[in-house]
Amino acid sequence: MEAAQLKAKIISNKQLKCNYWHLEFDSGIIAKNALAGQFIEIKVNNGIDPLLRRPISIHSVSGTKVKLIYEVIGKGTQILSERKPGDFLDVIGPLGNGFEYKWLTKKLDNRKTILVAGGMGVAPLVFLAGKIKFYRPLVLIGARKKEQVLCSQEFKALGCKVVTATDDGSLGFKGRVTDLLKGFLSENQKTGKPEHIYACGPQPMLKAVVQISCENNIASQLSLETHMACGFGACLGCVVSTKSGYKRVCKDGPVFMGKELIW
């Protein structure tokens, strides 16, 4: 479905915890057309500072509501966090390609699909978990500390099994989420390996996920995050190296097959 530029009314815009915010806006068109893994481009204000739109993953949709989770990290997201319910947001979306999940076998086995989220990477994976909840995916969430573990309740409410890892050990496994993934795969070698790994998070984490999935011969899909100028394929600014040359994260991604990427 093609993207549209529209003015969408903010329903709510609240701080979740730490620097993480949760924003809901009303757009029947985007809610209806959005696929898990797609994103939108927001103009946070009317001025020229900041100049560019901000790309943000769609976290979930319900009815005509579109939900986002974002981290306040710079001027753009700071301004976004100050926008009030009732304001209209200038939005383009939905953009990019979503996750592919139609090929999953229809077995009720929660060991067949693993979602690996690092930090803000939970955002598109919640949307995906909603779409594939029938398979009861295992969700591994990594964060620096307990306070930064996001959305575990949402995943659980969808019937997913959730295991967390924190760098400081303040919640769950102490260490990296990719070590958790490695451990899980070696423990479950005999019970059959998963069919698919979906991941979103910081680049070093994604790189490790690809390495682990390749070593175990498991297909992986990653949602990449990068700075973008346009967000809809025109500027060729947000490219990544793949086995078939440079690809635009915004238009050819943001979801890529792990084995396609060159790091």
Residues that bind another protein (CB under 8 A): 2-5, 43, 48-53, 90, 92, 226-241, 245-246, 251
Residue 1 CB, nearest distance to another protein (Å)? 9
Among candidate residues 112, 194, 125, the one with its CA nearest the CA of residue 154:
125
Alpha-carbon dihedral sign for residues 221, 231, 204, 80 = negative
Residue 31 CB, nearest distance to another protein (Å)? 17
Residue closer to another protein by CB (options 54, 136) is: 54
Among candidate residues 231, 253, 232, the one with its CA nearest the CA of residue 242:
253
Alpha-carbon dihedral sign for residues 92, 83, 61, 136 = positive
Residue 118 CB, nearest distance to another protein (Å)? 20
Residue closer to another protein by CB (options 128, 206) is: 206
Residue closer to another protein by CB (options 33, 216) is: 33
For residue 59 the two structure tokens come to 């976290």
Residue 19 CB, nearest distance to another protein (Å)? 17
Residue closer to another protein by CB (options 59, 251) is: 251
d(CA 129, CA 113): 10
